[in-house]
Structure 1
Amino acid sequence: MGKLIKTIKEYFGLIVIAGAFVIATVMVFMNGRVDTEVFHVVEPGETLKSIADSYQTTVARICEENYPDISPNEIIKPGMKIKMPGSAQNRIITVRLAHWQLEPGVRDGIAYMAKEYQKIHPNVRVVQNAVPESTYGQWFITQMLGGTAPDLIECALGVPYNLLIGYYMRYFTPLTDIVTQPNPYNAHNEFAKVPLRETTKDGLKTCYNNDVQEYMTIGLSQFLVRFYYNKNLLKKLTGRDTAPETWSEFLAACEKIKKHQYINRTSRTEIEKFSAKVAKAEKHLQALKTASASAGSVASAESELALRKKELSNYMLTVPMFAPIANSKYHMNMVEGSLFNVMAASAREAMDFNHDCTLGAVEQYIGFKSKMVTMDHPAYRARFKMVAQYCSNSMPGFTGLGRDDAVLMFVQQRSVFIITGTWDALTLAEQAKDNGFEIGIMDFPYPSGKDDDEDLRKQFMGASFEDPGAGFQFGTPTPESAADRRRIAIDFLLFMSAKENNYKLNELIGWIPSVSGADGAGVLQYFKPHNDGVQGGWNPGIGGESAIKWQQVYAMYQVGQMSFEKMRDDFTSYYLDRGLNDYIIVNKNWRRNIINDEKIVNMLRAKAIIATDERKKKEYWSKYRYVMLRPFTREVDVAFERALIKNAADGIIPPPPFYYSPEARARLKLK
């Protein structure tokens, strides 16, 4: 035994090297070993020939391996399991996916989906690329023009709409046939025989492009906007255990918050230093008085104490106050539509000339040009009063700040409220946990309470109407020359949109699933859309110069550098003078895009002629007629709009959009 131990010690190094070599050899063998039984699950659109090509084998060998279940002429169905020949080598297909979502959880969620998909399809690799949203538009365009677009790409932040339509027509695969058929990955649940679009909350309506007349994308998530608040700070600074429900309660809470200073570790240390000097000076003065010191000594000590108190007071002036609302130009856009614009709903009713219950930019201009409505309308007075109140409670300089600045302000606990979408829910929840506070969700604080300003309460007609569509939308620009990649990309998109997978994907990301019947988890369970509500009544963006002028004066009004009267006068005169020219330029640009309609018309006509399926033929002819008539209907609308504008310029006031005729008033016995 001793001799053996001695030998081991003598050759220990060689033994270790030999052992490592053996282990490495075994690992290489195990990694390179091909299982004797390899099965392939048939995907939609696959044939025996395409499967054989993927595995570098032949149809004959596949049929031999599966005899007598499969024959060369047999039509295989999605979901079938086919045993592959032992020598078959699965060709790796790499699918690239790109998006602009840098929020935590998104990349992890997609990576998890890719891993699960690979369990079913071991020959597929999914590689994702997250591009910052600030450069996403330029990157998107570059990839399209360079022929290097990923197989799945999120559409289409920062891409001009007219360019996007061209890209859709030239590069992307229409998904209409896909979304109108059942999703094969729902075969085991209640959606087994339900078309994909009908399994989602919004029917994928936001994924349908009216200009192209096709479903071009599939959305995987749903988004809503609400207020988030710091529960701990709200309690500490206002004494409230619950979030404000009305506008008056919200403003009252903001007033209390603004009275408190934000003291962090650095400022607390400095305050303690100055306070210690004050305490020392007070102690010294008291000692002199106790010892009946000379008047000169006491006076000197009193001067020292006054100096130390002044130093403390001066420093306290440099300590910032809490800002009730973490805001930025990015977040301001959200509160505009959801909170402010609903206050102008009554003004919309006076200008809704096409009776679609929304206010178009042209309708707004006609209303102002005809003097039917001005910015002195009670609804607009109420709207801009709320804007001023909201902005006065926002962090200083918010109009020049970006999204991350406001989020940082909130997570550092320097603000109590922030308005943002569900896409930030997980980020804020994790940051809150790391920084030791709890976040809550609150609905918009509308002026609906008895204590609210009467002028505001009179103009409030209801919450903002919300009809959220599917977001996180992906399209497929893979060229026809890469048929396998395109097929796999679409199949992976179907995999992520299946019921259980969509639940899991959004759970990992921290978003709301797009699938019907699925609510968000955690704080997201409080996000419920306003299915009953009103549309906004403010839309001054008729064209380039007018829109720029409005942005300039509105930004100055938000920060208190311009009064409402000054903003009203500056913008109205410019708007009425330049608005018509902006409108004409917009229409000229629209006419330049008619060539796209001509392309679509020719494409639809060709599809209708060669279609053998009667249902598809009728669908193509229906779309053909719609696109063919679209330029004419737009010309009719333009003629109607121009007639209203001309009449307004001539001082002819159009009749109200909604009114009772004399006959109707008599029949209804109205005065």
Structure 2
Amino acid sequence: MTFRAEKIMNFIGFSLVAACFVFALVHVIGQSQLASDGRTIVRFTHWQIEPGVREAFEALEHEYERMHPDVNIIQVPIPGRIFVAWRKTQLVGGTPPDLLQLGSKGLDVRDLARFYTPLGEFLTEPNPYNEGTVIEGVPWRQTFLGGLQKKPNYYPELLDVFGIPTSSHTFRIFFNRQLMLEIFGEIRKPATFDEWIEMCRQVETYNATVARRIYPIMMADNSALFLYSRLSYAQTQKLTDEINPVEDFQISHQDFAISYLTGKWTLNDPAIHSGLQAFGEIGKFAKPGFLRLDRSDATFEFIQQRSLFLLTGSWDYKGVVEQCSFDVDAFPIPYPDTEHPYYGPFLKGPLTEIHTVPGSSLGLTKASENPEIAIDFMRYVTSVPGNTLFCRVSGWLPAIIGVDPGETVRDFLPVTKGYPNGIHLFQMGGDLRQVMDRNFHHLFRTDGSVNAFIKAATADYTEAVETEFEKIQKRSRESLIMQSTMMLTRLHLDPDWEDPRTRDELSDLMEGQTWQEGEFLWGNLNRTRFGK
């Protein structure tokens, strides 16, 4: 490099540093100016950058500030790709926003206990912003559709609620109405799995009559895995009854692992086999390579009218509709019926979505300087008027009882009739998801099959279940230590046993502690059954 070139490169380098410094300085000064106007600042951060969501939160900010002119609500959206790293930096550095979205990877219960505030005590009183609505006077905790019993809202390891959900979501099959009329001469919404398969076959037949290539189905990596999970949920309904020790309509991750490791089911189980078969059957109508296709790429292909169907969730509806030059409609996943000669024997019936967990949840950070105002803002966001405003602007489904989301999203409302979920192969997450990612392609190769998948995956799958089981036991042991400390601290504070709320709180803590101890001991007892 010449001396002149080196000087130029140095100048560029110093210029970039100076620009970054000026940007940071302006950013800090801007924040200082906002603080100097006398208003109290509350910041919240999320990764939901889908069209309409930021605008929906802005509408909530403006309405809340109109009611509370001494408060300034600031939204800080962070793209999902960098959110986990950004969050860790902010939490460890002691500079997080007041409210921070929960539900992504990289946040375990120890981080939750260290950086987030338990919210149970705030949820016992009615939400004042629900005055005059159908849920006026109802405790805030009881106003959420689907309840607050699961993550990312309630964390059983810590026996408390840490997330306040703002919306609900369902998975749907979008379709191009114009293209469907062109191919079929009418609008069809298949009611059964076989009807959907037949429509896909007819699209392939139609391709032979036109110059362009239309894929029956477009789906990305995550939507494909979600489709598999739903098909497997249906196909394993009866199997789950056989392996669920407490028969409570759901199976815990611990019992999932124990039932597999003790041989109650294997990858060769006919019910497991049928779920994989259904996924393999429908996946062969998707664009090749879909297991490595990004969500935005799959959506782009659909917008360009290169597929009839697009598999995604209600969270994408507004963005897809706004970008398409054609009318978009949607329908739920059509499952096999109980009369199907192959799939039918494993089913009880269609799946219900009544268990849909509300999400896009915000947690209160312990670093918040204005926790009371932050919580009050969340009360407004999750009130009937607040959640109605959010849904109408974002096009998302509500998280709150009594909210009318509007006609445009009625096809996305949860299906309330049907039977509970069974199981799917990577529901424990972690290493199991990686095993699926590495081996699902065996279902879709030219010579692929369910047997090829099982042969390739079984050894790694068993090892992954063992690993995830040990993680569960380790987390249970750690959470029991934390809970025991919490319990002893609470009892040492000389609680007022005459106060009904105090009695209920301590009763819940003791009940949860007893349940956790039982789960931990049950896991240890079963470890001896599979040689641990």
Q: Give the TM-score band, short-chain normalised.
A: 0.7 to 0.9
Please list, as runs of the form range in 1=range in 2, the aligned pairs for 1:268-279 lying within 5 A after superposition: none
What SS does the aligned partner of 2:244 have? coil
- Residue from 225, 230, 246 that aligns with 2:171: 225
For residues 397 and 90 of structure 1, what CA distance do their matches in structure 2 show?
54
Aligned position for 1:100: 47
Maintained 8 Å contact 1:339/1:464:
no
- For residue 142 of structure 1, what is the amino acid of its counterpart? T
Deviations 1:287-332 (A, max 9, x none): xxxxxxxxxxxxxxxxxxxxxxxxxxxxx9xx76211111111111
Aligned position for 1:473: 361
For residues 490 and 360 of structure 1, what CA distance do their matches in structure 2 show?
31
Aligned position for 1:247: 193
- Residue from 336, 342, 349 that aligns with 1:462: 349
- Specify whether residues 502 and 202 from structure 1 end up closer, same or farther in structure 2 by C-alpha distance, changes over 3 A only: same
1:510 Cα offset (Å): 0.5
Maintained 8 Å contact 2:338/2:348:
no
1:477 Cα offset (Å): 1.1
1:631 Cα offset (Å): 5.2
Deviations 1:195-229 (A, max 9, x none): 12223323333423322222222212121112111
Bigger Rg, structure 1 or 2: 1
RMSD over aligned Cα atoms: 3.0
Aligned position for 1:520: 405
Maintained 8 Å contact 1:346/1:459:
yes
Aligned position for 1:444: 333
Please list, as runs of the form range in 1=range in 2, the aligned pairs for 1:517-596 lying within 5 A after superposition: 517-531=402-416, 532-539=418-425, 548-560=434-446, 562-576=448-462, 579-580=465-466, 583-584=469-470, 586-588=472-474, 590-596=476-482
Aligned position for 1:266: none
For residues 577 and 215 of structure 1, what CA distance do their matches in structure 2 show?
33
Aligned position for 1:286: none
Aligned position for 1:184: 128
- Residue from 389, 392, 396 that aligns with 1:504: 389
For residues 623 and 347 of structure 1, what CA distance do their matches in structure 2 show?
32
- For residue 233 of structure 1, what is the amino acid of its counterpart? L
Aligned position for 2:286: 394
Please list, as runs of the form range in 1=range in 2, the aligned pairs for 1:144-223 lying within 5 A after superposition: 144-160=91-107, 162=108, 165-206=109-150, 207-223=153-169
For residues 371 and 444 of structure 1, what CA distance do their matches in structure 2 show?
31
Please list, as runs of the form range in 1=range in 2, the aligned pairs for 1:21-40 lying within 5 A after superposition: none
1:393 Cα offset (Å): 0.5
For residues 115 and 90 of structure 1, what CA distance do their matches in structure 2 show?
17
For residues 257 and 37 of structure 2, what CA distance do their matches in structure 1 show?
63
Maintained 8 Å contact 2:50/2:319:
yes
What SS does the aligned partner of 1:454 have? coil
- Specify whether residues 449 and 637 from structure 1 end up closer, same or farther in structure 2 by C-alpha distance, changes over 3 A only: closer
For residues 405 and 322 of structure 2, what CA distance do their matches in structure 1 show?
16
- Specify whether residues 366 and 611 from structure 1 end up closer, same or farther in structure 2 by C-alpha distance, changes over 3 A only: closer
1:414 and 2:313 matched? no
Aligned position for 1:605: 491
For residues 127 and 500 of structure 1, what CA distance do their matches in structure 2 show?
20
- Residue from 237, 242, 257 that aligns with 1:345: 237
Judge which range, 252-261 or 584-593, deviates more. 584-593
1:258 and 2:204 matched? yes
- Residue from 76, 84, 92 that aligns with 1:137: 84
What TM-score, normalized to structure 1? 0.67
For residues 134 and 535 of structure 1, what CA distance do their matches in structure 2 show?
30
Please list, as runs of the form range in 1=range in 2, the aligned pairs for 1:272-287 lying within 5 A after superposition: none
- For residue 359 of structure 2, what is the amino acid of its counterpart? G
1:169 Cα offset (Å): 2.5
1:491 and 2:383 matched? no
What SS does the aligned partner of 1:566 have? helix
For residues 383 and 643 of structure 1, what CA distance do their matches in structure 2 show?
31
For residues 225 and 244 of structure 2, what CA distance do their matches in structure 1 show?
23
- Specify whether residues 148 and 568 from structure 1 end up closer, same or farther in structure 2 by C-alpha distance, changes over 3 A only: same
Fraction of identical pairs, as percent: 23
Can you give the 5+ residue segments of structure 1 that lack an aligned partner in the other structure?
A: 1-88, 264-315, 650-671
Aligned position for 2:70: 123
What SS does the aligned partner of 1:218 have? coil
For residues 460 and 581 of structure 1, what CA distance do their matches in structure 2 show?
30
- For residue 231 of structure 2, what is the amino acid of its counterpart? L
1:245 Cα offset (Å): 1.7
1:361 Cα offset (Å): 5.3
- Specify whether residues 239 and 559 from structure 1 end up closer, same or farther in structure 2 by C-alpha distance, changes over 3 A only: farther
1:332 and 2:224 matched? yes
- Specify whether residues 98 and 584 from structure 1 end up closer, same or farther in structure 2 by C-alpha distance, changes over 3 A only: closer
1:154 Cα offset (Å): 1.5
Maintained 8 Å contact 1:98/1:129:
yes
What SS does the aligned partner of 1:248 have? helix
What SS does the aligned partner of 2:110 have? helix
Deviations 1:479-536 (A, max 9, x none): 36x2xx2222111111222211211111101111222132432331123323331322
Deviations 1:378-426 (A, max 9, x none): 3233222211111101111111111111111111111111222211121
How many residue pairs match? The answer is 493
For residues 130 and 329 of structure 1, what CA distance do their matches in structure 2 show?
24
- Specify whether residues 640 and 528 from structure 1 end up closer, same or farther in structure 2 by C-alpha distance, changes over 3 A only: farther
Maintained 8 Å contact 2:388/2:403:
yes
Maintained 8 Å contact 2:119/2:161:
yes
- Residue from 164, 184, 194 that aligns with 1:238: 184
For residues 491 and 185 of structure 2, what CA distance do their matches in structure 1 show?
68
- Specify whether residues 359 and 197 from structure 1 end up closer, same or farther in structure 2 by C-alpha distance, changes over 3 A only: closer
For residues 468 and 116 of structure 2, what CA distance do their matches in structure 1 show?
33
- For residue 367 of structure 2, what is the amino acid of its counterpart? P
- Specify whether residues 519 and 228 from structure 1 end up closer, same or farther in structure 2 by C-alpha distance, changes over 3 A only: farther
What SS does the aligned partner of 2:74 have? strand
- Specify whether residues 405 and 379 from structure 1 end up closer, same or farther in structure 2 by C-alpha distance, changes over 3 A only: same
- For residue 460 of structure 1, what is the amino acid of its counterpart? L
